[in-house]
Amino acid sequence: MKRIKAYVLAADPTWLEKSVGAYYPLVDEIVVSYDSSSRGWTGAPVPVEECLTRLSVLDGDRKMRFVPGDFSSPVQDPMQNDTFQRGVALQLASQDADWVLQLDTDEWLPEPQALIECIKDADHMGVGGVEWPMRVLYRRLGMTRALEVCAPDGGDHFEYIAPVAVRAGSRLRHSRRTGGSILRAVVRGDSRSIQLNRPLETGEVRQERLHPNQAILHNSWARNPIELMRKLASWSHSGASAWRHFLLHWLPSPLLWRHQHNVHPLFGSVWPALRECPFALPSLDRLPVLACGHCSCHTPKAACGDDW
């Protein structure tokens, strides 16, 4: 197999251990990129030190390389800082690598080996990236329950938003997007996602190969109010419309979700409706950074792969 690395942006601790712990055994190195002033892309404070501490505890095999930088400079569009930081991290992770994973710490990949197999196929095809479906969590209802974005009839909803693995040396144009050729791994039977109702893009290959539960769980807005406000303050999409959505739609959603439609904070109909997520979730609270104590893995409890 080719040499695979990853990069992580140390700014959001919400699902950090669960996210990184899933693919940690499968990569050779993880570049941890962080803003040296502990600020996000808008210049607002973000919990960098907490993320670095939690990542250090997780790093039992010493695979992580911690690299500071300046990613919070005043710019007209915070997306410029987003793309710049990812680009710097990607180039660092590309050293002596063939492929680089680019998963955010609020994204959990349930079956990382399936992604590795897809990368192998993409490598043989000569394409430059692998795109993976995501299920979107919108609002927490308890420790392991949440509202999930769904189709208008209550069925599954998937998004294919950007490559989660790219060839080493790739150049990013907009956030995680490269503009190059991709292998888009599709959930079998999915014909309703917006991206699948468009004609094939130049260089795009689509393969129906996944079960719905192999999709990434994106803990997008399923946070407590304080954490979500912190995200909105530093988010590359931050703006008046996001804050208005937070107040008028997100806050009352535990009571009103059955009647709420077109709930995407920026593009409305992209998220058609909401439902209770139909399967048990990892805890939506951050777990304490403690030794496992349950088995002999010597990893933090939150990263232990044993079945609790």
Is 308 inside any structural domain?
no
Backbone angles phi and psi of 256, in degrees to 5: -110, 5
Does the pLDDT at position 305 exceed 90? no
Here the CATH number for the domain that contains residue 200 is 3.90.550
State the pLDDT at residue 235: 78
Proportion of the chain above pLDDT 70, given as a percent: 91
Span 159-206, pLDDT tens digits: 999 999 999 999 999 999 998 999 999 999 998 999 999 999 899 999
- Residue 113 to residue 23: CA distance in whole angstroms: 8
Asked if residue 194 belongs to a domain, the reply is yes
The separation between the first and the last C-alpha atoms of the chain, rounded to the nearest angstrom, is 31
Residue 79 within any structural domain of the chain: yes
* pLDDT above 70 (res 299): no
Q: Residue 285 — very low, low, confident or very high, per pLDDT cuts 50/70/90? A: low
Of 286 and 9, which is predicted with more confidence?
A: 9
What pLDDT digit, counting tens, does each position of 38-97 carry?
999 999 999 999 999 999 999 999 999 999 999 999 998 999 999 999 999 999 999 999
- Could you tell me the residue range of the domain that residue 237 belongs to? 4-303
- DSSP per residue, 208-224: EEE-GGGSEEE-SS-S-
Alpha-carbon torsion (223, 82, 27, 69), positive or negative: negative
> Which class for 275: exposed (0-12), middle (13-18), buried (19 or more C-beta within 10 A)?
middle
Q: What pTM does this model have? A: 0.89
Model pLDDT, residue 295:
36
Number of domains in the chain: 1
Read off the pLDDT of residues 258-267 as tens digits, 9 standing for 90 and up.
999 999 998 9
Tell me the pLDDT tens digit for each residue of 208-249.
999 999 999 999 899 889 989 988 888 777 678 889 999 999
Residue 259 resides in a domain: yes
